[in-house]
Structures are given as structure tokens and as C-alpha cells.
Structure 1
Amino acid sequence: MKLPYNPFDRLSELAALQIAIYTEVARQHHLTLNELHFLYFIGRYGAVSPSKIGDTWSLPKQTVTSVCKQLAKKNLLTFLVDEKDKRSKLIHLSPQGKDFIKPIIDKMTEAELSVSQYFGFARFETLLNDTETILDKLATHLNTSKTE
């Protein structure tokens, strides 16, 4: 029995392709995709709490802890007490981590901006807004909460 066309199948395939592209970038630098996400996020936006990383990349606390340990073992991260909340720690890039991730971020940003420019920044922004609306509606219809 052939089912009717479902555009979400295509959306899922495209999401998987995007993940595969960034997974290959991570692999080229001997990282996992989660490690690349962490280093990219901290390298671009600065020190961050473990919960912010987990929320941003939709990762459970156990995964965040595990990835932090892996990257600390590689001497790419350091952990310092949050001056605003002495009970919490912030994740920072170590000097080695900064040197390691900067050229990766630069290359990724150059490629992403080039593609965005080719596509058109206004069209790209519309695509992002439409995708967010679609995912919000899907989460509502499936009675799930979308992680922000």
C-alpha cells in the first residue's frame, strides 16, 4: 500500500543531510558532532553554563557531562566558577581549545555565509522563520514541547 506524499519525509531527509555534513566536518577534526557543537558554541559566544549548552543543542544532562569530560581530557575546555552564581560553573575554552576551534569556526562561517549570500539573506531568513513555524505547529499537534 503506497501512502500519500508527506512533505515531512523530505524535511527529515534534509535535516539528516545537514547533520551528516556537520558530522563529516567534526570527523575531519577528530571530533564527534556533539564535541563540535560545544566547541563551536563556546568559541562563537563565549563561556556558557552546561545547562545552556544542553538546552541549545537539545542534549540531556548526562550527555553534556560526558562531552565536557571528553573535551576537558583533550585539554580543550576549562571550568570556572560563575561569578554571578558561585554554586555554578561556566565552561570556557582553554587557550589550546581557542587555537584549535578558531580556524574551524572561521572555515564554517565562511562557507555558511557564502551559501547564505548565494541563496539570498532575505530568502534564507524567511526559510528559517517558516521552518520554525512549521516545527512549532508540529510540536503542538504532537503534544510535545519544542526545546528552545
Structure 2
Amino acid sequence: MNDKSCQIFNIFALLKKLGALNKERVGQFGLNHYEVFILYDIYENKVISQKDLVEKLKAPKQTINSIVMSLKERDLLTMVSDENDKRQKNMTLTDKGKEEINKISSYLSKSDKEIYNYLGKDKIREIENNLNELIKALETNIKKEGI
């Protein structure tokens, strides 16, 4: 592996570590990061379909369906048929789901604020811009290579 490849590999290793730390952060609530994202997304949008979640998370349908079914079994969300398309199921939070996401959101807001204050506005903006550039470069490379 040459120096350039090694540096890119190290960036992906750091991103993996970052993801693992975030997973640990939300894991204290007995949920994984996908479950938290789904609950939070429903909370923000009030209603969302599994199809929308598949597109947002770039995850396989079966993965999303398994997570949704698990959240439903734990009485954190409910599913109802879409008024316009009875084949499509939309999800909404149950009262228990709302309580859970409020608790999680409160903790994450405090945690995120501490991280933001530690890094500062300029560093946060720089990290965000750099990650967006990395995503763009990777997407371009994948399209170019036909992967």
C-alpha cells in the first residue's frame, strides 16, 4: 500500500472508529444507531414510510424492515396503511416511542453541544466540508470505476 492509499485507509478507519463511538453513545439507551435514527426521523417528520428510510439510510430493505419490526414489537412505533396507497405502510411513534426519543434527544443535544463547544464553529464547519468533499470524491470514483 502506498502513502496515498494508506492515508485514505486511515481516514476510513477513523470514520469507523467515530461510528463505533457514536454507537456506544446511543447504545446506553438499549438501541442501536439505526433504531435511534429511525425513531428520531419519525419524531421529526411525524409520519414516514419504510421506503423513505431505505433511501435515507442507504440500507437494504430487509435490514430496515427487521429494525422497524423490532421497534414495533417494543411498542415504540406503529404502522398504518397510507391513505393513497394501501400497500405502503407509514410509521408513527407511540407514546412510549415519543417518551424514549425525548429522553434520547435531550441527552444527545447536551452531548452534541459539549462536542460543538469543544471543537468550535469553525472546526465543525471545516470537518463537515471536508467530509462532504470526501463523499463527493468517493461517489465520483465509484461512478468512474463502474462499481
TM-score (norm 1): 0.82
Please list the CA deviations of residues 35-67 of structure 1 after superposition, one character each: whole Å capped at 9, or x if unmatched. Answer: 222123223443211122122222111111111
Q: Take 2:65 and 2:100, find their aligned partners in 1: how far apart are those partners?
A: 21
Q: Take 1:50 and 1:13, find their aligned partners in 2: how far apart are those partners?
A: 30
1:85/1:40 Cα in 2 relative to 1: closer, same or farther (>3 Å)? same
Which structure has the highest helix share of the two? 2
Q: Take 1:137 and 1:83, find their aligned partners in 2: how far apart are those partners?
A: 41
Please list the CA deviations of residues 54-113 of structure 1 after superposition, one character each: whole Å capped at 9, or x if unmatched. Answer: 222221111111111111000001112334555422211111111112111111122112
Superposition pairs for residues 94-109 of structure 1, below 5 Å?
Answer: 94-109=94-109
Counterpart in the other structure of 2:9: 9
Letter paired with 2:36: L
Secondary structure in 2 matching 1:143: helix
Superposition pairs for residues 106-121 of structure 1, below 5 Å?
Answer: 106-121=106-121
Secondary structure in 2 matching 1:62: helix
When the two chains are superposed, the root-mean-square deviation of aligned CA atoms in Å is: 2.1
Structure 2 unaligned runs (5+)? Answer: none
Structure 1 unaligned runs (5+)? Answer: none
Compare 8-17 and 114-123 and name the one that shifted more. 114-123
Aligned-pair identity (%): 24
TM-score (norm 2): 0.83
Large movers: runs of 4+ above 6 Å: none
Q: How many residues align?
A: 143
Shift in Å at residue 122 of structure 1? Answer: 3.6
Q: Take 1:52 and 1:18, find their aligned partners in 2: how far apart are those partners?
A: 25
Q: Take 1:86 and 1:31, find their aligned partners in 2: how far apart are those partners?
A: 30
Superposition pairs for residues 56-95 of structure 1, below 5 Å?
Answer: 56-83=56-83, 85-95=85-95
Secondary structure in 1 matching 2:135: helix
Q: Take 1:46 and 1:19, find their aligned partners in 2: how far apart are those partners?
A: 26
